[in-house]
């Protein structure tokens, strides 16, 4: 009897797996946070001064830990800004993009070949200095900042449709 139930269960699973279905929807991010309403966002690349400030704050943590300094990278800043804009348009803070599964995929699409990548995100009525301080104080975000392999850094931002919340993205990576 047990074998018959098992055989029927397996047959049912195989039939379901082989039946025609709609395309698989993108994965859901269980950690995503709806910050504000979706809509038109004000998307702008981070300036050289912001990127330099982000890299300096990152290196202020890395240096005392005996880690190599990261270098500001304009390509990583563009990738970060594009993801910040994507989040702002959706009003949603998440590592999953509308068409991408994470920072490595976004970097590859932009022409960067990452050996490793990580990303910190934030959203709210916060300045860059506040976000950098929050990431420094958060164990998970700090762990990304202190990944020893990282060599390049970029930061991006976008203002959400509500005109109140800024979406921030920092990308850390090292090339192959």
DSSP 52-102: HHHHHHHHHHHGGGTPPPPEE-HHHHHHHHHHHHHHHHHTEE-SS-SS-SS
- Please state whether beta strands 71-72 and 152-159 pair in parallel, antiparallel, or not at all (unpaired): parallel
Structural domain boundaries in the chain: 33-175
For 86-142, what is each residue's pLDDT tens digit?
999 999 898 989 889 999 999 999 999 999 999 999 999 999 999 999 999 999 999
pLDDT tier for residue 26 given thresholds of 50, 70 and 90: low
Q: Are 170 and 135 in contact (CB under 8 A)?
A: yes
Record the pTM.
0.82
Q: In angstroms, how far is CA 76 from the centroid of its own chain?
A: 12
Task: Give the whole-angstrom CA distance, residue 143 versus residue 79.
Answer: 21
What are the pLDDT digits (tens) for 69-97? 999 999 999 999 999 999 999 998 989 89
φ/ψ of 73, rounded to 5, equals -125, 120
Domain formed by 33-175, architecture? 3-Layer(aba) Sandwich (3.40)
Q: How far apart are alpha carbons 38 and 30 in whole angstroms? A: 19
130/111 Cα distance (integer angstroms): 31
């Amino acid at each position: 009897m047990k074998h018959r139930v098992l055989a029927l269960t397996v047959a049912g699973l195989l039939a379901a797996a082989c039946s025609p279905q709609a395309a698989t929807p993108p994965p859901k991010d269980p950690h995503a946070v709806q910050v504000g309403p979706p809509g038109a966002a004000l998307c702008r690349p981070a300036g050289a001064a912001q990127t330099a400030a982000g890299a300096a704050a990152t290196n202020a943590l890395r240096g005392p830990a005996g880690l190599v300094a990261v270098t500001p990278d304009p390509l990583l800043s563009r990738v970060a800004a594009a993801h910040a804009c994507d989040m702002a348009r959706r009003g949603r803070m998440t590592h999953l993009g509308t068409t991408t599964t994470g920072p490595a995929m976004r970097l590859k699409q932009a022409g960067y070949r990452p050996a490793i990548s990580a990303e910190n995100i934030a959203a709210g009525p916060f300045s860059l200095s506040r976000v950098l301080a929050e990431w420094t104080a958060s164990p998970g975000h700090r762990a990304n900042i202190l990944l020893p392999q990282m060599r390049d850094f970029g930061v991006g931002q976008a203002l959400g449709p509500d005109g109140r919340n800024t979406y921030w993205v920092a990308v850390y990576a090292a090339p192959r």
